[in-house]
Amino acid sequence: FSKDYPVTGDIPATPELRPSYDVVIIGGGGHGLASAHYLSKYHGITSIAVLEKGYLAGGNTARNTTTIRSNYITPEGVAFYKEGVSLFQGLSQELDFNVMFSQRGQLTLAHSEATLRSFHLRAEIGKHMGTRTEVVDARGVEEIVPQLNMDRGGALEILGGLWHADGGTARHDAVAWGFAAQASRRGAEIHQRTEVQSVEVAGDRVQAVVTNRGRIACGAVLIAAGGMNYDVALMAGIELPIRCYPLQAMVTQPLKPWLDTLVSSVSLHTYLVQSSRGEIVIGGGSDPYQLYSTRSTLDMKEHLAAGAVHLFPFLQGVKVLRQWAGITDMTPDYSPIMGASPLANLWLDCGWGTWGFKATAVAGKRMAETIAKGRVPDVLKPFALERFETFRLLNEMGATAASH
């Protein structure tokens, strides 16, 4: 590797705040850092402050289970996430940093005819849009993951699956640190422990953001604050159609490699993937109540363990190493809100809920383009905030469920 290969130590310590920046990004998670990278590398904008109230990528970026896929159900969603997957394919080269992208495919299981029908719809849309998404029968499922309990004759018999060869995983903190290192090298400043506490608005523009370390005047502002998006937008007088729910996950002790693909069961609300360290990462659905809390619960641990052991009975007795939660900003249609806000210089990258890691690169790239040109590109237009007034919703609920 080259002499100036970025390593995590290359991210400078938090500098003094300047009185103004061309672009202020609220949130130093993957999305905010990716936006800083694409702004500085492709649009020549380097007067950027990324403001992070905690530590780099300590929000949902470092808490997610790293599913990357494009097998959604709306053509608009598939087009967007397909671009996201293709960016991951070249991301280690783009960042000169190994993000450990592993495109090993995702298998989503159908335990009922109704689920299979919806898989056929997703497969047809996926094929039409040029992704690798197909329905396989029970025998096909067994060939892909021979260790699965097919539960023949049981209540959760596996009838088939949605096989998405484009699916994969990447190392979440490597993604965030890679974007941070590249953005820093081009002059973007990353300010950790810098919390935006209020937003000054005059007329139809944001004048400044006020932080615990001082006031910053800004040319443009991007909100990319993960689970706090609703609250941060409200500081600028904008009420987003977002409600926050905890989402939990856990990992087992490391095991020898045996699970090559990502496996997800919608009926069991459980999905599994084996990490490169051998741990089985297990996730599921959101907690059933609104809450700003990153505490995990025994109830969810039991639920995830039961689902995992049903699918792979030999996991019984394997120890759980860690369990954690993130605060997810859910929209009514399970699609993000990207693009313009009611304020001329305030841009939104919000509503990423339980599914936004896979979009880290593409959201950063497209939001950078939006801010630099002051114009929303076609691929982002369907995700506009106005869709909740015009009822042009992008319903991805059925394709999000426990597949993340």
The Cα 31–Cα 384 span in angstroms is: 17
Stretch that binds ligand FAD, among 9-17, 91-99, 354-362, 371-379 (CB under 6 A): 354-362
Q: Which residue lies nearer to ligand FAD by CB, 131 or 328? A: 328
**N-to-C CA span, the chain:** 34
Asked if 382 interacts with ligand FAD (CB under 6 A), we say no
Site for ligand FAD in 237-276 (CB under 6 A): 247-249
Residue 352 φ then ψ, to 5°: -85, -10
Task: Specify the 3-state DSSP secondary structure of 101.
Answer: coil
Asked if 232 interacts with ligand FAD (CB under 6 A), we say yes
Asked if 339 interacts with ligand FAD (CB under 6 A), we say no
Q: Which long-range contacts (CB under 8 A, 24 or more apart) does 151-158 make?
A: 151/111, 151/310, 156/111, 156/265, 156/267, 156/268, 156/310, 157/111, 158/109, 158/110, 158/111
Buried b (16+ CB within 10 A) or exposed e, 79-92: bbbbbbbebbeebb
Residue pair 50/189 in contact (Cβ under 8 Å)? The answer is yes
User: Site for ligand FAD (CB under 6 A): which residue of 6, 32, 77, 307?
Assistant: 32
The Cα 137–Cα 161 span in angstroms is: 6
Instruction: Kindly state the smallest distance separating residue 98's Cβ from ligand FAD, in Å.
Output: 19
* Angle, vertex CA 30, rays to CA 344 and CA 202, nearest 5: 20
Helix residue ranges per DSSP H, 195-289: 229-235
Stretch that binds ligand FAD, among 93-101, 138-146, 353-361, 375-383 (CB under 6 A): 353-361
Asked if 26 interacts with ligand FAD (CB under 6 A), we say yes
User: What number of other Cβ atoms are within 10 A of residue 138's Cβ?
Assistant: 17
Number of residues that bind ligand FAD (CB under 6 A): 42
User: Site for ligand FAD (CB under 6 A): which residue of 352, 369, 382, 401?
Assistant: 352
Residue pair 374/346 in contact (Cβ under 8 Å)? The answer is no
Residue pair 239/388 in contact (Cβ under 8 Å)? The answer is no
Task: Specify the 3-state DSSP secondary structure of 237.
Answer: coil
Asked if 63 interacts with ligand FAD (CB under 6 A), we say yes
Stretch that binds ligand FAD, among 126-134, 356-364, 372-380, 383-391 (CB under 6 A): 356-364
Q: Which residue lies nearer to ligand FAD by CB, 39 or 51? A: 51
Q: Which residue lies nearer to ligand FAD by CB, 57 or 91? A: 57
Q: Which residue lies nearer to ligand FAD by CB, 122 or 155? A: 122
Q: Which residue lies nearer to ligand FAD by CB, 67 or 370? A: 67
User: Site for ligand FAD (CB under 6 A): which residue of 21, 23, 38, 61?
Assistant: 61
Asked if 364 interacts with ligand FAD (CB under 6 A), we say no
Instruction: Kindly state the smallest distance separating residue 374's Cβ from ligand FAD, in Å.
Output: 22
Asked if 225 interacts with ligand FAD (CB under 6 A), we say yes
Q: Which residue lies nearer to ligand FAD by CB, 138 or 201? A: 201
Stretch that binds ligand FAD, among 25-33, 118-126, 136-144, 148-156 (CB under 6 A): 25-33
Asked if 66 interacts with ligand FAD (CB under 6 A), we say yes
Asked if 51 interacts with ligand FAD (CB under 6 A), we say yes
Residue pair 14/192 in contact (Cβ under 8 Å)? The answer is yes
Site for ligand FAD in 308-337 (CB under 6 A): 326, 328
The Cα 44–Cα 368 span in angstroms is: 11
Asked if 58 interacts with ligand FAD (CB under 6 A), we say yes
Quick one: which of 100, 80, 97 has its CA closest to 179? 97
Which residues lie near ligand FAD (CB under 6 A)?
26-32, 51-54, 57-61, 63-67, 195-196, 224-228, 232, 247-249, 283, 326, 328, 352, 354-358, 404
